[in-house]
Amino acid sequence: MKQKLLYVLMPLLVGAISMNAQDKVWDFGNDTVNWPENSTALTTPTTVDGLTQVPEGGSGFGVVEGNSATWFAGTENEYTSVNRWKAGGNSGVDPSDGVTFMPTRRYLTFPVDGPVAVKIWFRQGGSSTPRDLWVTDGTSEVTHYVGLGDTDPQYLEANYLGEAGNLFVFFAGNAYNLYKLEISSTLLGTNEFVEGVSTNVKAIGDTVYVSNVKSNSEINIFGLTGALIKTVNTNSDTSFNLNAGFYIATVKTSEGQKSVKLVVQ
């Protein structure tokens, strides 16, 4: 089954950002202590490990059941689940109107101390569209994913750059299944860098640029199923084209190794 990566990088604020350390993972797919299999839908707001689930009107909301899936197979970012958390329906609002950003039912909410990166591993609850997954602060968008009519594993990440408050994860149109939700005080950057590895790889349009090459560099391009798409060995700056899609590039030099996520358009 194909997999897709939606990599959302929101611009960093100009100047320094003071952040409180805040790192949390809710692993619905594998944490059977906090998220054991449960076939009974929630009927009242329930908080588990700091994550509040607000039901109302959803026959399957909060159900945790067996459903294996794999993201980024064969890479250092691989994630495999055995269970899923079900929304069971929509959240009663659609923020695409540009006005309504506070859900009224079937949503998740959690407090943050300030700026955080938000990461979600998920799948659509069915093939019908439209259906969107949203992350908001109640008054404005943090990020959202537009349903594409398939149930393939998906990944979404974005920076929240606001003040302390609550964030909301919810669903417009129809349901989604969640596998893991993570927040991190380490914000996403516009460039990925590993100290000591000078070679950089980035995509602009349909072209991948390899720059700042100071020693022999091996670049391997993987699809999100883990399949090797292309290998480039170079001693100097170079570029090449790829078909539109989402990739992970590994860069190996005598200085070390790093991985870079690429969005080719």
Residue 22 burial (C-beta neighbours within 10 Å; 0-12, 13-18, 19+): middle
Write the CA distances from 73 to 4, 128, 184, 223, 263, integer angstroms: 12, 26, 23, 9, 17
Residue 138 lies inside a defined structural domain of this protein: yes
Instruction: Return the closest-CA partner of residue 83 out of 220, 194, 178.
Output: 178
Q: Is the pLDDT of residue 202 over 80?
A: yes
- pLDDT at residue number 126: 82
Residue-range definition of the domain harbouring residue 41: 6-184
Least confident of 90-94, 107-111, 150-154: 150-154
Q: Categorize the per-residue pLDDT at 56 as very low, low, confident or very high, splitting at 50, 70 and 90.
A: confident
Last residue of a domain, one of 160, 184, 208: 184
Q: Is 199 helix (H, G, I), strand (E, B) or coil?
A: coil
- Number of neighbouring beta carbons within 10 Å of residue 2: 10
More confident residue, 234 or 254: 234
User: How many domains does one find in the chain?
Assistant: 2
One-letter identity of residue 137? D
Express the helix, strand and coil content of the chain in percent, nearest 5 each. Answer: 0, 45, 50
pLDDT tens, 229-239? 999 999 999 99
Instruction: Return the closest-CA partner of residue 103 out of 148, 135, 147.
Output: 135
Same domain, 93 and 222: no
- pLDDT at residue number 225: 63
Q: Is the pLDDT of residue 86 over 90?
A: yes
Residue 1 lies inside a defined structural domain of this protein: no
Same domain, 31 and 64: yes
- Number of neighbouring beta carbons within 10 Å of residue 96: 15
% of the chain residues with pLDDT over 90: 53
Distance CA(218)–CA(56), nearest Å, equals 53
Distance CA(101)–CA(51), nearest Å, equals 19
- CATH number of the domain residue 170 falls in: 2.60.120
Q: Is the pLDDT of residue 1 over 80?
A: no
- pLDDT at residue number 58: 60
- CATH number of the domain residue 260 falls in: 2.60.40.1220
Same domain, 148 and 213: no
Instruction: Specify whether the CB–CB gap between 90 and 173 falls below 8 A.
Output: yes
Tell me which DSSP letter residue 10 carries: P
Residue 210 lies inside a defined structural domain of this protein: yes
Residue 153 lies inside a defined structural domain of this protein: yes
Q: Is 156 helix (H, G, I), strand (E, B) or coil?
A: strand
- Regarding pTM above 0.75, the answer is no
Q: Is the pLDDT of residue 81 over 80?
A: yes
pLDDT tens, 23-48? 999 999 999 999 999 999 999 999 99
Q: What is the mean pLDDT of residues 62-71?
A: 95
Instruction: Specify whether the CB–CB gap between 43 and 53 falls below 8 A.
Output: no
Q: Is 22 helix (H, G, I), strand (E, B) or coil?
A: coil
Least confident of 40-44, 86-90, 127-131: 127-131
- In the chain, how many H helices and how many E strands? 0, 20
- β-pair partners for 256: 253
